Structure 1
Amino acid sequence: MSTTQSDRLRGLLEPLVAAKGLDLEEIELSRAGKRRMLRIIVDSDEGLDLDLCAELSREISDQLDASDVMGEDEYNLEVSSPGADRPLTEHRHYVRATGRLVKFQLTEGELVARILEVDDEGLDLEVPGVKGRKATARRVAFAEVVKARVEIEFNRKDKKEEEA
């Protein structure tokens, strides 16, 4: 997608997404045979429910139909959340991942740890103990993080369960 079209799409859709209390994370435009596929990725601190996603999809479709930003060619529109395996790249992504187990690629190797707290400079982490050892605390500055991605946990306790 050209930078100009990407900028035009972002300018058109960001206010609409923000009015719903959501963040516009990504816009992807690709070919799917003769048609184009426009994928809009949105998220929020509270997550994204299916009803809100459907409502936003209808509003985005109406907005795109009323403008010329997509041109005359047919396209399919998909509005969705980023999914569990998306990379953590923004400060808000780390905040949303608080309590989750994350695989970090650091300037000095790899680390798998649970995010306990996030501030402007970095992360307070809990590194799980190995072979019966206790978990340890570790501080990591954002400058040390090369890549980070949430690890999928099938037996993870939900925050609501812990509070009960």
Structure 2
Amino acid sequence: MATKLDEIRVAAQRVAASHGLDVVDVELAGPAKERVLRVFLEKNAEGRARLRAEIAAGLEGLPERLVEGKLSVEQLSGVTHEDCAEFSRDFGVLLDVEDLVPGDEFTLEASSPGLDRKLTKPEEFQRFKGCLVKVQTFEPVRNNRHWRGRLLAGSGTNIALDLAATQQNSKSRKAGVNTVEIALDNVEKAELIPEI
């Protein structure tokens, strides 16, 4: 099944690229007759740059928090309902033609990754530097597996969190440090914390 999911991800990226989008993640979940194929999309780097230019030009109709600077372009995927509908239409045809999803019955869902998006790739940790994140590790770091803080840096092999940026749980407070460094290969799960 993992191989099939990789093939689906590659096909999804091909279709997404033709619409100026990037695939953030692909999930295939549920029992055989109720399977859901979820594709999380965002504007590609060019699309995000265009959104920055629209903000700088003062264009009307942009999200208020984005214009006010309370939300960064990097946090906002920039994907519209129309983007998802066009992608779904084209990708659905490709899935049927290439018979990429095993079995006959599944539901295709396309959406943005949301403000609390998962971070999985080293370049995502670099891109979202300065954002609030919560991280769960495989192995404890300073006797704790759950951390919350502002992402200071991502070196490719490690990330650093500023713990003073958020309220910590009791284990984190007992660690008695303001920053923590975590190896990327020890990160079980990481996601952004929305700042609204």
TM-score (normalised: structure 2): 0.57
Deviation at 1:72, TM superposition (A): 6.6
CA displacement 1:119-163 (0-9 Å, x = unmatched): 3233344332689xxxx9636243564543322333xxxxxxxxx
The match for 1:138 is: 179
The match for 1:49 is: 79
Percent identity, aligned pairs only, is 28
CA distance 1:29–1:149, shift in 2 (3 Å): closer
Are 1:3 and 2:2 an aligned pair? Answer: yes
CA contact (8 A) 2:148 2:166 kept: no
Deviation at 1:35, TM superposition (A): 4.5
For structure 1, list consecutive stretches of 5 or more residues without a partner in the other structure.
155-164
CA contact (8 A) 2:148 2:163 kept: yes
Q: Which amino acid aligns with 1:120?
A: G
For residues 110-129 of structure 1, what are the structure 2 equivalents within 5 Å? Answer: 110-128=146-164
Bigger relative contact order (CA 8 A; separation at least 6): 2
Are 1:26 and 2:68 an aligned pair? Answer: no
- The RMSD of aligned alpha carbons is 3.3
Which structure dedicates a bigger proportion of its chain to strand? 1
Deviation at 1:23, TM superposition (A): 2.9
Count of residues paired in the alignment: 148
For structure 2, list consecutive stretches of 5 or more residues without a partner in the other structure.
49-76, 168-176
CA distance 1:119–1:16, shift in 2 (3 Å): same
TM-score (normalised: structure 1): 0.66
> Which range is displaced more, 15-24 or 61-70?
15-24
